[in-house]
Amino acid sequence: MKTKDLILETAKEMISQVGFHRATTSNLAKAANISEGTIYRHFESKEDILLHILAELEESFSYYIEGVRQKLDKDECSFDMIMADYFTFVEDNEVDMKIMLSTYGLLDSSKRLMAVFLKNLELILEDCIKVGIRKGILRDVAVEENSTIIMTIIFGLTRMHLYWPNQRDVRTEAIDFCRRSLLK
């Protein structure tokens, strides 16, 4: 593993466990078994490390969105698929998601990324509802309002999964609930 990647992976674990403010470059260097100077050869600051982590998460999310868009373009979209794929994305990027959520109030870059997540999720849900209405599968509902409601449910479940993993997992029931509320 390259030193830069080692620093990023160690920082991800540390920030997700102790928070951004309590993670220090000194502790990061110790955990990665490198000198603090090595960190500064690769990154300008602790904030720069966080920006790299968020950029990686944004890139991963764009791949998820691109995959959903391709399915939407072929009319191969369903709420089940969007939500199941999203929850898989969250599980695959659990540490990074925790970092984004925990630094939301601290950095504009976290706020911007959160806005990108929510807006893109809402837009693909809108398109999925439109496809379902056009195919006659879904009731003719207020598209924007319903996609916002579903996006809010998804994001709430994301937070539950990340911060309260021992709580009962109701993601399957949430998918069923959303589907039942829109089906003809």
- Give the residue extent of every domain in the chain: 1-43, 50-182
CATH fold of 50-182 reads: Tetracycline Repressor; domain 2 (1.10.357)
pLDDT in tens, the chain (184 residues): 899 999 999 999 999 999 999 999 999 999 999 999 999 999 999 999 999 999 999 999 999 999 999 988 888 778 788 988 999 999 999 999 999 998 888 888 889 999 999 999 999 999 999 999 999 999 999 999 999 999 999 999 999 999 998 999 998 999 899 989 999 9
CATH fold of 1-43 reads: Arc Repressor Mutant, subunit A (1.10.10)
Q: Determine the Cα–Cα distance for residues 167 and 93; give it in Å rounded to an integer.
A: 19
Q: Which tokens is 68 given?
A: 């959903």
